[in-house]
């Protein structure tokens, strides 16, 4: 029964995301002057394939975990000047809002290389999809990565489902499917949630779905280990 309920909840959420996304994206575009269809697609930092873009993230994380960062060698003054008028990231990452997850540092990248969206529990929302659609359709990123992390407070809270002040409990329904797949194991729930959110990205956005279908972008999910510094893909 739990799996069925989770599937029904996820299906309703997907339909909600698809409906709500249109109005959110239109409003955001109107406010910022950004037109997804009118703007020419930018080129990413290099002519990377989606596979090569993912490998660049993996290699960067290996550098980080081994304390052999190369991004700190870049001239930040030159980078700021180069990116003041435009951005050309090769990857987009949906991460948790947790302060222990510095996305660019984790992947040994610097200014202008990763388009980052963050929200507690690395959840897919209409606003997150609208942002990542911009990354795909306008900026031309070649890989989207949903990044969970060990010891995630949002997932742990959702597993307990205790009463909490304010709107923290509003996260619980979005995390339920991952929790249901975990068998009560926090680490499994964190990995499952990242995978669930990645699947929502693939299915809730026609922009992202079409880009995946045409081989222009990969959507992956993984977990960052706070202790080791390593990212493990699902």
CATH of the domain at 30: 3.40.1050.10
What is the pLDDT averaged over residues 141-156?
97
Judged against a pLDDT cut of 90, whether residue 198 lies above it is answered with yes
pTM score = 0.82
**Domain, as residue range, for 195:** 2-233
Q: What is d(CA 125, CA 98) in angstroms, rounded to the nearest whole number?
A: 17
pLDDT in tens, 7-19: 555 666 666 565 5
CA distance 153 to 142: 30
Per-residue pLDDT at 1: 42
Percent of the chain exceeding pLDDT 90 equals 71
Which of these ranges, 23-32, 113-122, 154-163, has the smallest mean pLDDT? 23-32
Cβ atoms of residues 103 and 147 within 8 Å: yes
Read off the pLDDT band of 21 (50, 70, 90): low
Predicted confidence at residue 5, as pLDDT, reads 55
- Total number of domains constituting the chain: 1
Query: Which has more confidence, 35 or 121?
Result: 121
If you write DSSP's letter for every residue of 80-96 in order, what string do you get? Answer: HHHHSS----SEEEEE-
């Amino acid at each position: 029964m739990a799996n069925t309920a989770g599937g029904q909840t996820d299906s309703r959420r997907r339909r909600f995301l698809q409906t709500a996304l249109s109005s959110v994206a239109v409003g955001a575009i109107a406010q910022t002057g950004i037109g997804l269809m009118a703007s020419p697609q930018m080129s990413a930092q290099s002519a990377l394939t989606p596979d090569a873009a993912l490998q660049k993230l993996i290699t960067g994380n290996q550098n980080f975990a081994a304390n052999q960062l190369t991004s700190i060698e870049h001239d930040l003054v030159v980078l700021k000047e180069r990116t003041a008028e435009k951005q050309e990231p090769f990857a987009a990452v949906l991460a948790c809002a947790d302060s222990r997850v510095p996305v660019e540092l984790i992947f040994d990248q610097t200014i202008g290389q990763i388009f980052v969206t963050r929200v507690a529990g690395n959840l897919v929302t209409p606003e997150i999809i609208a942002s990542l659609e911009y990354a795909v359709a306008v900026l031309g990123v070649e890989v989207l990565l949903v990044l969970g992390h060990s010891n995630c407070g949002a997932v742990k809270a959702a597993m307990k489902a205790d009463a909490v002040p304010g709107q923290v409990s509003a996260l619980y329904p979005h995390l339920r499917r991952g929790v249901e797949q975990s068998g009560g194991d926090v680490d499994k729930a964190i990995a499952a949630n990242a995978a669930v959110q990645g699947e929502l990205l693939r299915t809730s956005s026609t922009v992202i779905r079409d880009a995946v279908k045409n081989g222009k972008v990969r959507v992956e999910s993984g977990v960052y280990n706070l202790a080791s510094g390593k990212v493990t893909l699902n």
